[in-house]
Amino acid sequence: MIPVLYADEHVLVVHKPSGLLTVPGRKPELQDCLWSRLKNQFSERDVLLVHRLDRDTSGLILFASTSETQGNLGRQFENRRIHKEYVAKVHGHPPEKEGVIDGPIRKDWTRNDPPLYFICPDKGKAAVTRYQVDSTDGKFTRVRLFPETGRSHQLRVHMLSVGCPIVGDPIYSPGDGGERLCLHAERIEFYHAVKKEKLDFRVPADF
């Protein structure tokens, strides 16, 4: 069962485990995903995608139960009215205690399995991440990440760009000994599409 933090006739807020796709992949062995499990768990209602988390990222994610709510939440994302906070354990130490990483991101179209993204100032899509250092422990740092855009692999690529790849990242820090990608969507804050009240949810990381 997928842990559910909030559910009404309009919206679902759930906790995605690491290692589970948000939506089905193209291959037959990639059909198991968060969306399909929620469809079984909530068979009496629609489960409509609003945003995604990478397969190896854990944490909070929203789904809508009506097309109207799906559209409303989508516009909140577009207008940056939804506040998201991530926690990550990274190798090394960022250059400052807090800062902004402004690095346009582009996909490497020469490979798809797994996909790879990189900083490309000339042809990349705009991507901005704020970060704050929470604590340091020897060779590692725990950071809080605030994405201002929502590009694929944004947080992973941005931390790599400052010399601090995320622990356990199978693409950008392969073979580092991490048991899982240490990236977790810890908090999400948004406005209910119908009730108009602000909702704020948090789930601490398990690393």
Beta strand 140-147 with 83-91 is antiparallel
Q: Pick the catalytic residue from 8, 32, 54, 56.
A: 54
> Are 162 and 94 within 8 A, CB to CB?
yes
Radius of gyration of the chain (CA): 17
Q: How far apart are CA 61 and CA 201, in angstroms?
A: 10
47 φ, ψ (degrees, to nearest 5): -125, 105
122 in active site: no
Two structure tokens written together for 86: 């991530």
**Which run of H or E residues covers position 139?**
none
> Are 133 and 97 within 8 A, CB to CB?
yes
Q: Please list the active-site residues.
A: 54
